[in-house]
Amino acid sequence: MECALKACIAKQFREHDFPDKQIVNRSHAHDLRELVRLAELESALEARKRQQDGLRDNWDKVVVKWKETSRYEQPTQAMAEELVRAVRDPEEGVLPWLEQYG
């Protein structure tokens, strides 16, 4: 998710343009909510969450719980499967929604 959001942020800049330093520095964050803001997708995400309960639950209850330190933790099999489903589900996954902007 982090890489996909950063790709959306990078898409804001045109080739050979000198990007805004504040946006570049802030995009080095690992906070998914902040990356959604920097990608200028906050209102689009909120609108889709109002239309699609599954996407809302996948984002609010699963995906945003991921933190940079999560990669060092040992999740249970069920937790890992829940995260993969929340990200990749073709109907209500966060990544399929995000891919339309990347």
Query: What number of CA atoms fall less than 13 Å from residue 11's CA on the CB side?
Result: 15
Q: What is the pLDDT of residue 18?
A: 84
Q: What is the DSSP letter of 14?
A: P
Tally of structural domains, the chain: 1
What is the separation of C-alpha 96 from the centre of its chain, rounded to a whole number of angstroms? 11
Task: Please give the model's pTM, rounded to 2 decimal places.
Answer: 0.88
Burial 64-88 (b: 16+ CB within 10 A, else e): bebeeeeeeeeeeeeeeebbeebbe
Domain that holds residue 70: 2-99
Integer Cα distance of 21 and 40 in angstroms: 16
* Residue bearing tokens 């990749």: 88
Residue range 20-24: mean pLDDT, rounded: 88
Q: What is the pLDDT of residue 71?
A: 86
Residue range 36-43: mean pLDDT, rounded: 96
pLDDT digits (tens, 9 = 90+) for 47-79: 999 999 999 999 999 999 998 898 899 999 999
Which is nearest to 49 in space by CA: 59, 40, 39, 41? Answer: 59
Mean residue pLDDT of the chain comes to: 93
